[in-house]
Structures are given as C-alpha cells and as structure tokens.
Chain A
Amino acid sequence: MKNVKQNSNSTAQQVSRRTIVGASAVGGLALGVGAGGLITKALAQKVLADATTAGEVSAWVVIAPDDQVTIRIARSEMGQGTLTGLAQMVAEELECDWTKVKAEYPTPGQNLARNRVWGDMSTGGSRGIRGSQDYVRQGGAAARGMLLQAAATLWGVPVDELKAENSTVTHAKSGKSTTYGKLVGEASKLPVPDLKTVKLKDPSAWKLIGKAGVKRLDTADKLNGKQVYAIDLKLPDMLTATIMDAPVFGNKLKSYDEAKVKAMPGVKGVYKVGDTAVAVVAETFWQAKKGLDALSPVWDETANNKVSTASIAELLKAGLTSNEGIFTGNKAGDADAAIATSAKKISATYDSPYWNHVTMEPMNCTAKWTADKCEVWVATQNGDASLAATAEASGLPPSKCEVYKVHLGGGFGRRGFQDYTTKAVLLAKQLPGIPVKTIWTREEDMRQGRFRPVSQCKLDAGLDAQGNITGFKMRISGPSILTAVAPSRLNKDGSDPAAYQGLNADGPEGQFGYDIADRSIEYAMRNLHIPVGFWRGVNNNQNAVYLECFMDELAKEAGQEPLAFRRKMMAKYPKHLGILNAVAEKIGWETTKPADGVFRGIAQHMGYGSYVAAAAEVSVSDRGKLKVHRLVMGTDCGYAVNPDQIEAQVQGSVAYGLGASLYQKITIKDGRVVEENFDTYESMRLEDFPKIETVLKPSGGFWGGVGEPTICVAAPAVLNAIFAATGKPVRSLPIRDVKLRA
C-alpha cells in the first residue's frame, strides 16, 4: 500500500471543519461522490488536472501499460479485509485480471482538493462495504465503459459489439483483441460518464464478488516484517516523543520537573501539550520514556477526582427508576398496564462495565509542522477527520495540511477518534521543521481510551397463563456516546439514537426482532467525565446481552425452551428468524443432545444491516470453571463479498466481544482508570478460543455489515448456555467476576 503520488499544487481555499467532516452529497465533477463544498468548479477542475496521475481512467482505477491495475481505496484497512473486498467490487465491474490488482490509498488532502471524489473516508459502523458498494462498483463499470469506447474508436466498430473480460477487449466479428494497458492512454482522455447512466451487473452475473477462496491483497508483507505500521515510520531527522495526559480526564497540568528531565541523555525537550498533557521529546523512544518516568507531573484536582466505579454504579442505578433525564425509544401500546394485569411479573437488572479498545499497536502519530505546511503520518479510521484535526491543531487551513494514511495495527473504533493526532500536531508545532513521532505507552493507551460506556439495564415483563409475553419494558441507564463525540447526530429531543441499537422499531441499525404489542424501551442518559466512544459493536454489545439473556429468563419462567419461546414472537421478522433457525439447525438444537455436562444457549440480534445469531455449548465445573466447547455463529449480511474474510471477521468478533465479556473491565478509582496493561486487562488467548463454526447465509437483496454484527450474539449465547448449565442467570460482566456455582 502506498499513498497516491502527491499533488504539489495545493489549493488555497478555506474549508471549515464541518465541510470536511460532514460533506457527503453527490457531486458531478469526476467519477464518484463529492460535495460542492467551497471549491469552485473551475478551481476543482484545475486541481483535478494537476493531480491526475498517468494511467488514471476513473478516480478509482489506474491502469499501467503492462495491465497492472491499481484500485484506489478510500476506506481504511485495519484487518477487517475491506481493502480486498472493495477492490473486488471495482474489479468485478471493471472486468480486469484479478491477479494483476493492487490497492492504494488516496490522501485526505487529495480527496478534499478533488471535490471529495472518493467520498467518505470514515471507516466505522461496519460501513466499509455497505456504505460504498454502489459508487465503487460504478467507478469500475465507468472505467470499463471508457476502455470499451476507446477500443470502439480505435477499430471503428460499434461499442456494443465489444466484450471486456480479464483486462482484454475483444471484437468477435473481426477477431480483434487488445489489452487494457494498450487502451488506457486513449481511454483516460474520454469524459467520465454520468454515474446515473452506468449500469451495474446483476448479482447473478458476479464472478469475483462472493467467490470463495479470494485471497487478501495485503497478507505477504505481514509475514516478514516488511509491512510498515504508523509506529514503524522513519523520517530523516525525526525525533521520538512519549506523552502523558491527565489521568483524571480534563484536569489541568500544574507542574513537572523539567530541569531534571532536560538533562537526561538524549532528551531534546519537555513540552506542554494543550492544557492537560506533557510530552518528552528525545532521540529515541526509550530515552523519552525514561524522561517521562522521571518527570513527576502534577495535575490540579476537581470534583471528578471523587468519581469511582461504585459512585458511577449508584448514579446509573438511580437512573433505572428516575423520572428525570429519561428518553423513550421504541414504544407501542401500554407496557405498564399490560404487565400490571399479567398472571406473572418478572424483573431483572443487568450491568456491564467500561471496556477499552486496546489495539495491538498503541496510539501514535508522526507530525511535521512549518509555518506553511503541516504533514501528518497516522494510522486512522477516518482520514477526513485526521485532516480536520490536523488543520485545527496546526492553525493552518486544510489546504496547507496533508495526512498520509499509514497501515493500522488494529482499529475497533478507537482510531476513528483523532485525539492522538491532535496531540501529536500540538507537540510538533513547538518544534518547527522537525518530524516528531509521538508514541503512547501501553499504559497511556489504556488510561486515555475512548471507552465502551458502562451501563445498567432494568427489564420488566409480564407473562400470561400460557406463557406469552404480555408487556415488555427495558430501561437502560448510562453515558451517551453521541453527546460526547457527535452532538449534531443526537435526536431532536436530545436523546442518543445509538443508545437504542438493536432495539429500534425499524431500520437497518438494529430492528427489534420480537412482536410484542405493549412495549417501552427507555434510556436514562447519565453522562460522566470519562470519555466514551465507539467500540466494535458499540451499544449492541450490552443491548443484546440484556435483551437476549432476559428472554431466556422469561422462557424459563414460562416453562418453555428458549428457541420455541422466541420463535412464536418472530413470525413478522423472517430474516431474524431465518438466521436463528439456521444456527439452531447447525448446532443440532432440536436433533442432537450435547455431551454429558455440556449445555446449550442461543441468541439472535440485528445490527449494522445484518441479521445474526449464535448458539453455544458450554460446561461449568463443580468449582464454577467455565469452558466454551463450541460456538456456531450465523450471519445473513445480504450479499457476501468475500466469504473467507467474513469467516475471519466472525471468528475475530468472538475473540474481541466474548473475550471482553469473559475477562475485561475498566475500573475507575479517584476519577482515573486503574488498569494499565494486559496483566490487569486480560485479552482472550488461543487456549481459551472456542471452536467456531460459521454459518454464512446471505439471502440477497441488501448490503449488511460484517465486522461488527456477530460480536453482539457471541456473549449472550454463552451466557444463556451458562444459565442452562447452572440455573442461575449471569447478570453482570465480566463473567470472571461472577461466581458461577454457589
């Protein structure tokens, strides 16, 4: 992966942060998606001409004379395979030779200068494929059309007599044939057609999309140390820094022992970064770290110093029954009345902790600042946001900034937030002309997370004499992510739509899959000083645990087995039911018995446009030791682009989500994070990884996400299997902290 060749002719237009981050309208300049923004058409065309690299057919496709095809990818590859999947989609329509395809990232600066021709660079919400499938396929199809037209003109034949396949254009009537590499010179001079006129293949004609065994484009360099991650970057005269921000988030930095540290070997200086952080810059990382360890920084104290896990739990618990700061999401009928008159009333309270992303590669960013230009090299899930953060921190307009996207050592949502870019630029600005790489220690990475929010949930339901649910209530209490990071995306009433993920009456971001006439899903927003963020699966993680585990509690109270209990409420939700049934069949729910001492659990959910379900087999020893023997994970993601990578994502989602549910919690004491490294914040390792069978059932007709959805069902399936084994519901995470046997 290389960045696209730099366009040295920067434009001078001023573009606000909002324009960069929020732009998404369709523009007609070149091929793809753009926003009008503040760039005039004439200016944009000039920039386009300057930036066009030799062999560019459309913005997405560059072809070399030797038929090597370079496909431009706007989204970030962080392991999820989207780079390969998106390239497959362009190549499918381009009809090129897949063995001669490579991929490259355009830079956010080029995207801005070219009127956002590559569309949204943000890579989150499992949107890599589903959010860009239409225009990347159109980009490939348009380029194929231009190549065909070039051949038609060359041979003086009608374009509809030509066929494009495997990077070759043939004319059957005359027997003429030539390759894309020979046509690219003429094709690239043709106008790019209007996207609306570009016809896409019918899915039945796909050859590369959905094919099994299509290898990733980015594996080879990950096997021999050649892959350059952001933390590996080397630049001439570069210095290395490490940083510490206020452990009690937001508290102001008061003092530090600068004189002592400045005299240490290799140390170039000690710099305040913003109002809250301090960095030591040195020749090497270890010198910088030794300096920071000796710095003794002191921060002021605020009311936040008194916040603890226990005080947070009290606040959230009050939210479960409070009448203040309450929002209502999915509501129909009168749940309270229906429950009040029920034969049986059931209530339960669940909770789940803060989680940190803990990407394998700790946060880091390299920045070089001069009065005319600020350049940043960063592993980012959102190049546009990195550019905006760079502009804001550097004090320079975006046109004088550039961001070079470097390979990510994991993302999981963490690298959508640009706090680490901002700090690196604020530091580099104090050392003009010198590239400074700021590397966070693992400890800093753990303390300065953008945490999956802590929450509690009270569930209430009534059952009639036949064991049917009469009314259902769910009250979630916890911090709001969007209030903290994107207030413009809040609902009009100030509520956070992300709080209801998987519980909505309708929509691709998680439709509640049970037909219950009298229902009410409420949210008590309780915000704290601890920064929250999007963590793979986001609020679906805990929402699915609360809902699906309570369903098993209700099934038991109704005297029914959990699958049948769910099915009778799911007739109106055939896709939810379809994948649940597929998973049940695979594990043998109704056909085989598990081994002695092994118990099964099942769960279903919908999120990120996909329908998912899981079934688990577990045992719990007499001493309460849990073993997960088997997991069947199912997804209906509509269309499956790369089945091998979907399988990898499903397995990965189990390690990430079930691993967190088993072991992880971020504890708050005296206002700060207690855990600092993998010794206290454990990650799932190979020996604990259950055997996973993936059931891929793409039913077609829609595009669902892949990276996140299945994470939501692994934990509830295991928790329900534990409930089946012990008869005692697990209502608190992580599981490690719960005594499974009395």
Chain B
Amino acid sequence: MANLNINGKMLDLKVDGDTPLLWVIREQAGLTGTKYGCGVGQCGACSVQINGELQRSCTISVKDVKAADKIMTIEGLSADSSSPVQKAWLALDVPQCGYCQSGQIMAATALLAKTPKPSDADIDAAMTNICRCGTYQRIRAAVHMAADMKKA
C-alpha cells in the first residue's frame, strides 16, 4: 500500500513497495504523461518534481516516498497548458514525436524555478534529458522564451 500526494490529490494505492514511482504514477494513479524510457535514470522521460526538486521517478521505489511528499507530474503543471514553459513549447512547435517532452518540460520548469534567466551553459548543464528526435535547438530557444515570459 502507498499513500501518495500527486498533483495535490491524496491517493491510497495498492502496490508492492519495491515498485518504481514511475510505474505507480502510470499504472496505479493512471497518469500516463510521465514516460518510461530506460528504467535506469538515464533518459529523463520519467522526470517529475518531488517537493520542488526534479527527480527521475524510474529509480525511486514507492516505499521511499512519504505521504507528506508532494509529487508533481506533467498533468499537475497547469490546468490548461498555461505555464510559461508550456506556452513557449507551443509557440516554437518544439515536440516532434513528443514522447520525451513531458520530461523535458518538467526539467525546464525546474531549471527556471532556480535560475530564472539561464545562460546557454546553464541550459546545457541542467537539461540532460534525451530526445531521440533531436528537438534540442528548439528546446534551448523555448527555455529562453519561457524565461522572458516569466520576467515580463
């Protein structure tokens, strides 16, 4: 059993304690915006925020998450895709296949929370998620655009 606070909702879920948080989010909580890409913390498709910190949910066992921990997934980022990062992503048509983009958006959101006006080097260092389609140039531009929106 697990008591989890996901996107502000308390959920009482029947699940084995060693299950990675990723699969609990996807299968028990039914929030499939968080993706499975590697299962070993390499690709970042499973990125979520826990208490405001960016985390790769495929490497966290659900038993290590407390009921008081606040988990935020892509579905919790905004009610209507209105966060600056989502708006910038839309304006620049960033996604191609889109599979990694939930993770990319979560990573960009976490970066801007800590570094409101990131340089290219800041973006390079923070955005380590893999995109096989190669949307990187637009990701970089969209992070800058989102930073400008937040500032405005």
A interface residue numbers (CB < 8 A to B): 78-81, 215-216, 218-229, 231-232, 234, 240, 265-266, 284-287, 290, 358-362, 407-412, 439, 441-442, 644-645, 648, 651-656, 659, 677-679, 683-687, 689, 691-692
Chain A residues near B105: list those with CB within 8 A: 223
Q: Is the CB of A228 within 8 A of B32?
A: yes
Chain A residues near B52: list those with CB within 8 A: none
Of residues 107 to 127 in B, which have CB atoms within 8 Å of A's CB atoms? 123-125, 127
Q: Is the CB of B33 within 8 A of A648?
A: no
Chain B residues near A362: list those with CB within 8 A: 36-37
Interface residue from A78, A285, A412, A679 paired with B42 (Cβ < 8 Å): A679
Of residues 66 to 99 in B, which have CB atoms within 8 Å of A's CB atoms? 73-75, 77-78, 81, 86, 89-90, 93-99
Tell me the complex Cα distance, A411–B23, Å.
Answer: 23
Q: With A286-B16, A358-B132, A655-B131 known to touch, is A224 a contact of B81 (CB < 8 Å)?
A: yes
Q: Is the CB of B86 within 8 A of A359?
A: no
Q: With A79-B97, A223-B89 known to touch, is A652 a contact of B135 (CB < 8 Å)?
A: yes
Tell me the complex Cα distance, A359–B37, Å.
Answer: 9
Q: Is the CB of A224 within 8 A of B75?
A: yes
> Of all chain A residues, which has the CB nearest B98?
A222
- 7 A-B pairs in the complex with CB atoms less than 8 angstroms apart: A216-B93, A220-B90, A223-B95, A409-B97, A644-B93, A655-B133, A684-B134
Smallest CB separation, B40 vs chain A (Å): 5
Q: Does B19 sit within 8 A of A, measured CB to CB?
A: yes
Tell me the complex Cα distance, A362–B37, Å.
Answer: 7
Q: Is the CB of B45 within 8 A of A223?
A: no
Chain A residues near B81: list those with CB within 8 A: 220, 223-224
Interface SS of B by simple majority: loop
Q: Is the CB of A360 within 8 A of B37?
A: yes
Tell me the complex Cα distance, A218–B75, Å.
Answer: 18
Tell me the complex Cα distance, A231–B96, Å.
Answer: 17
- How many residues of chain B are within 8 Å of chain A by beta carbon? 60
Interface residue from A408, A652, A677 paired with B38 (Cβ < 8 Å): A677
Smallest CB separation, B49 vs chain A (Å): 14
B interface residue numbers (CB < 8 A to A): 15-16, 18-20, 23, 26-28, 30-40, 42-43, 45, 73-75, 77-78, 81, 86, 89-90, 93-102, 105, 123-125, 127-140
Interface residue from A232, A284, A290, A648 paired with B135 (Cβ < 8 Å): A648
Interface residue from B43, B95, B124 paired with A687 (Cβ < 8 Å): B124
Q: Is the CB of B96 within 8 A of A648?
A: yes
Tell me the complex Cα distance, A583–B139, Å.
Answer: 25
Tell me the complex Cα distance, A80–B133, Å.
Answer: 8
Tell me the complex Cα distance, A234–B39, Å.
Answer: 21
Interface residue from B27, B132, B135 paired with A359 (Cβ < 8 Å): B132
Chain A residues near B39: list those with CB within 8 A: 441-442, 677
Tell me the complex Cα distance, A653–B133, Å.
Answer: 8
Tell me the complex Cα distance, A412–B133, Å.
Answer: 9
Smallest CB separation, A620 vs chain B (Å): 20
Interface residue from B20, B40, B77, B136 paired with A678 (Cβ < 8 Å): B40
